[in-house]
Amino acid sequence: MTIEIEPRLNALMRRAQAGEAAAWRELLGVLSGRLTVYFGRRLSAAQAADLEDLVQETLLAIHRRRETYDPAQPFTAWAHALARYKLIDFWRRRRLRVHVPLDEMAEALWSAPDESAEARMDLDRVLGGLPERQRTLVRDVKVEGLSLAEAGARAGISEGAAKVSLHRAMAALTARMRPRED
The 3-state secondary structure of 82-132 reads HHHHHHHHHHHHCCCCCCCCHHHHHHHHCCCCCCCHHHHHHHHHHHCCCCH
d(CA 176, CA 92): 33
pLDDT at 116: 54
CB 54 within 8 A of CB 87: yes
The percent of residues in the chain predicted with pLDDT above 90, rounded, is: 32
Does residue 38 have a pLDDT over 90? no
Mean pLDDT for the chain?
81
Report, as an integer, the average pLDDT of 80-86.
Answer: 90
Instruction: Give tens-digit pLDDT for 48-81.
Output: 788 899 999 999 999 999 989 898 888 988 999 8
Does residue 1 have a pLDDT over 50? no
d(CA 84, CA 101): 16
Report the predicted TM-score, pTM, of the whole model to 2 decimal places: 0.51
Instruction: Give tens-digit pLDDT for 133-142.
Output: 998 998 888 8
Report, as an integer, the average pLDDT of 172-178.
Answer: 79
Mutual angle of helices 117-127 and 159-177, in 10-degree steps: 100
